[in-house]
Chains A and B, each alone.
Chain A
Amino acid sequence: MTTSVITGNDAAATAAKLARVQVIAAYPITPQSPVVEVLSDWVASGELPAEFVNVESEHSALTVCIAASTVGARVFTATSANGLAYMTEQVWWAAGARLPIVMCIANRAMAAPWNVLNDQQDSMSVRDAGWVQLYCRDNQEILDTTLQAYRIAERLNVPVMVCYDGFLLSHTVMPVDVPTPEQADLFLPPRTDPLQVVDPADPRNIGPVTLADPRADGAGVLRPGYMELRSLHHGALLDALEVIPEVDAEYAAVTGRAWGGLTWEYLLDDADVAVVAAGSLTTQLTLAVEALRAEGVRAGVLGIRSYRPFPVAAVRERLAGKRLAVVFDKALSYGVEGPIAGDLKAALQPLGGEAPVVFGCICGLGGRDVSPDDLAAATRRAVADLSGPRDRAPDWINLQPQGIPQPQGDPR
């Protein structure tokens, strides 16, 4: 184990190298570009014996990964924002094809208008496609989670998206313990047993046209229809609820570090106000809750590590009986509310009277700064709002006050 002071992008690239990826195809986009450059450098020097394909677009980047993964190779790519949007057709393809691809997302705001700074709108916009989505709070977690992602992906035959905040993590240097190649190999053996068969001696047609209903094959055996295949895919995402913590524990056995599996927490046990988020914001939330505790507010952090699958049982268990959950989203489902807030409300609803009130906040869009003070202030506002209705419109944090109000027209 060596400690290096490296950026989040470096951590992601280092993990791909330790995972002994065989094919890399990535297209540069701010703030992900250094990942591509570092990997390209290592391939050129021989430090990473992989095929590096200089694709001409993000759509092609993920396509190359899909195809190489189909013939059994371990692959890697990364992107942000509009690059992810451009490859979205292939994000769906990779998931439906059940390929164990790992992709890092350096989270960045979506155009229009242009903005290269951080928020989580890009990865949130593809949460439905059937990838595992994990969010990292610091550069150590980026390295560890990206390495874990291969084990998760290959165990489930589901692609995994490892998300980390653009610039805040991608470009910020932090001390990171880098596992040795021996540790990495111990944790992550080579990929075996792909679902796909590419063999002239057994010629198969992969990903053909399917029908609505099951259809018999030449031997008279009924094969699934599209809906059955999708049901199996969803089942694999549900299996991830077990596999993600298992792999986290396996990783801890080799490196001594675990990340909580699906969720993690800070000062949550005796809290009656939970503050909830994903990514680097959660680190700032730990400072906010310390400040709130000092003034008598019993606040605690619930960090969402696995956003997909959504950790329904874990959030019910950790938040039942609490008075309030304040959710900080760096993204928005336009016309309603933040994605984590919406999912949390749905997950807690069956708790009935035991469910906390859930108030959402929108923060950090387009790189708008969010300090622990802002988060603590927003939490105080939410506590004060408890005297009102059980639901309220999202609280937009740090909108500049020059005549621009919080959005109007939300009936809650």
Chain B
Amino acid sequence: MRDLTVHQIAMSSPGIGEAGRTGDWRSEFPVIIAEACLPVKSGRNTCQICWGHCPDNCITQGSPPTIDLTYCKGCGICVEVCPTDAIVMHPEAEYAAFERGAL
């Protein structure tokens, strides 16, 4: 008889990064400008609209909120929903290790 403690069926467990470093998908990344962020400006626990609308749960609430750039796919929704335009996208190439001409 077979050893039935061997996994007989496919049954996954949850884990972050199932698709790998999805931050590698993007060509631009979001930066929160703290001075423009409503919780920072008002000194109150408020807004967090970016947190509420991130499809990938990559934003943690805070003053200002923080974005997990390992997994952020760069969709840009946070930029669009921010009521004070406190988030801007920067091109990934800005911090690239290589100059384009050298490739």
Contacts and interface: CB of A to CB of B under 8 A. Distances in A.
B10 A207 contact: yes
Given A239-B1, A242-B1, A204 B12 contact: yes
A208 B8 contact: no
B6 to A, nearest CB: 7
Contacts of A208: 10-12
A98 B11 contact: no
Contacts, number: 51
Contact of A236 (B2, B7, B13): B2
B77 to A, nearest CB: 26
A242 B2 CA distance: 12
Nearest to A229: B10
B14 to A, nearest CB: 6
A157 B3 CA distance: 13
A197 interface: yes
B10 A239 contact: no
A128 interface: no
Most A CB contacts (10 A, CB to CB) among B1, B2, B6, B12 go to B12
Contacts of A196: 9, 11
A217 B10 contact: no
Contact of B9 (A98, A203, A218, A239): A98
How many chain A residues sit at the interface, stated as a range, is 20 to 34
B44 to A, nearest CB: 34
Contacts of B10: 206-208, 210, 223-224, 229
Contacts of A204: 11-13
Contact of A197 (B6, B11, B15): B11
A60 to B, nearest CB: 23
A2 interface: no
Contacts of A239: 1-2
Nearest to A235: B2
A275 interface: no
A92 to B, nearest CB: 14
A224 B8 CA distance: 9
Contacts of A98: 8-9
A223 B9 contact: no
Nearest to A221: B7
A236 B8 contact: yes
A205 B12 contact: yes
Most A CB contacts (10 A, CB to CB) among B1, B6, B14 go to B1
A103 to B, nearest CB: 19
Contact of B11 (A206, A218, A232, A242): A206
Given A223-B7, A224-B7, A232 B12 contact: no
Interface string A225-246: 0000100110110010010000
A194 to B, nearest CB: 10
B8 A195 contact: yes
Interface string B6-45: 1111111111000000000000000000000000000000
A97 interface: yes
B12 to A, nearest CB: 4
A195 B4 CA distance: 9
A174 to B, nearest CB: 36
A232 B13 contact: no
A229 B9 contact: yes
B9 A207 contact: yes
Contacts of B15: 217-218
Nearest to B18: A218
B9 A217 contact: no
Contacts of B12: 204-205, 208, 217
Contacts of A233: 8
Nearest to B14: A203
Interface string A80-122: 0000000000000000011000000000000000000000000
A232 B15 CA distance: 26
A99 to B, nearest CB: 9
Interface in A262-317: none
Given A206-B9, A208-B11, A229-B9, 11 more contacts: A98-B9, A157-B8, A195-B9, A206-B11, A208-B12, A210-B10, A217-B12, A217-B15, A223-B7, A229-B10, A236-B8
Interface of B: 1-2, 4, 6-15
Interface of A: 97-98, 157, 195-197, 203-208, 210, 217-218, 223-224, 229, 232-233, 235-236, 239, 242
14 contacts: A98-B8, A195-B8, A195-B11, A204-B12, A205-B14, A207-B9, A208-B10, A218-B15, A223-B10, A229-B9, A229-B10, A232-B2, A233-B8, A239-B1
